[in-house]
Chain A
């Protein structure tokens, strides 16, 4: 099973709202990722968690706050977003080490900030 699930599929929020995106995988992977993708552009890395610890933050604004409660779950907390933050947010997972670096993506959450 190579499935990564994300909820919600669509989210519309105002600039003063607080919301969270959720990601779950049951492949036993110990690395999880958040990517941001604008229309007709490639995914851009935001955060990497390895063994539930934040290992990479690609200079993402503090209005995005990641959280990894356990090895299967990854959240992205959103607060005071701007309209330019509207995008497809993708979660991915992989198994670090062992020479295997394939990342498996979820279907994404389409976020619209009004």
Chain B
């Protein structure tokens, strides 16, 4: 099946630092979504990307849809303690209608005091 390679697997950073994570695939996706999940909760949608080259921001978060349609990245600026969690990229395969998402393995963000 299709796989998404997400890196890094985990990040240990200081509060105030900027964060960058990315996802790559060997297949083309026509939608990229970024989610955050906290313990005991479901994933929460952060940003949705639909066009190659698209750059979208949501507060301190910025995400881009790669030109080749095979990658995407997420940046978080000036991290704060509530940014802690697992960040997942998810891609939707080409085609119409309802379709499941393929998820990356996640980036576990840990903020050290």
Q: B76-108: contact bitstring with A at CB < 8 Å (1 yes, 0 no)?
A: 000000000000101010001111111111101
User: What does the 1/0 interface line of B22-64 toward A look like (CB < 8 Å)?
Assistant: 0000000001010100001111110010100000000000000
Q: Is A103 an interface residue (CB 8 A)?
A: yes
| A42 partner, pick from B31, B50, B97, B105, beta carbons under 8 A | B105
Find out whether the CB atom of A107 lies under 8 angstroms from the CB atom of B98: no
B103 touches A104 (CB 8 A): no
In the complex, A90 has a CB within 8 A of chain B: yes
Question: Are the CB atoms of A102 and B40 closer together than 8 Å?
Answer: no
Contacts A42-B104, A42-B105 given; does A101 touch B40 at CB 8 Å: no
Restricting to A1-42, which residues have a CB under 8 Å from any CB of B? 2, 4, 6, 30-31, 33, 35, 40-42
Q: Are B101 and A45 in contact (CB under 8 A)?
A: yes
Contacts of A35 in B (CB 8 A): 100
Given contacts A101-B31, A106-B42, A107-B42, contact A50 B50 (CB under 8 A): no
Please tell me if A99 contacts chain B, counting CB pairs below 8 Å: yes
Can you name the residue of chain A whose Cβ is closest to the Cβ of B48?
A: A102
Count residues of chain B with CB under 8 A from any CB of chain A.
26
Contact B100 A48 (CB under 8 A): yes
Contact A56 B43 (CB under 8 A): no
Also in contact, A50 and B42, with CB within 8 A (given A41-B105, A42-B88, A103-B33): no
Cross-interface CB contact of B42 among A49, A90, A99, cutoff 8 Å: A90
Considering only CB atoms, which chain B residue lies closest to A91 in the complex?
B42
Q: How far is the CA of A29 from the CA of B63 in the complex (A)?
A: 25
A13 → chain B, closest Cβ, in Å?
19
**Cβ-defined contact, A107 with B41, below 8 A:** yes
Interchain CA distance A64-B7 in the complex, whole Å: 33
Tell me how far the C-beta of A104 lies from the nearest C-beta in chain B, rounded to whole angstroms: 6
Closest CB pairs A-B (n = 8): A31-B98, A42-B103, A45-B100, A105-B42, A50-B98, A96-B98, A101-B31, A107-B42
* Residues of A near any B CB (own CB < 8 A): 2, 4, 6, 30-31, 33, 35, 40-45, 48-50, 55-56, 58, 90, 92, 94, 96-97, 99, 101-108, 110
- Identify 13 residue pairs between A and B in the complex whose beta-carbon atoms are under 8 Å apart, listed by A's number: A4-B42, A40-B106, A41-B106, A42-B104, A44-B103, A55-B97, A92-B42, A101-B31, A101-B48, A101-B92, A105-B45, A107-B42, A108-B40
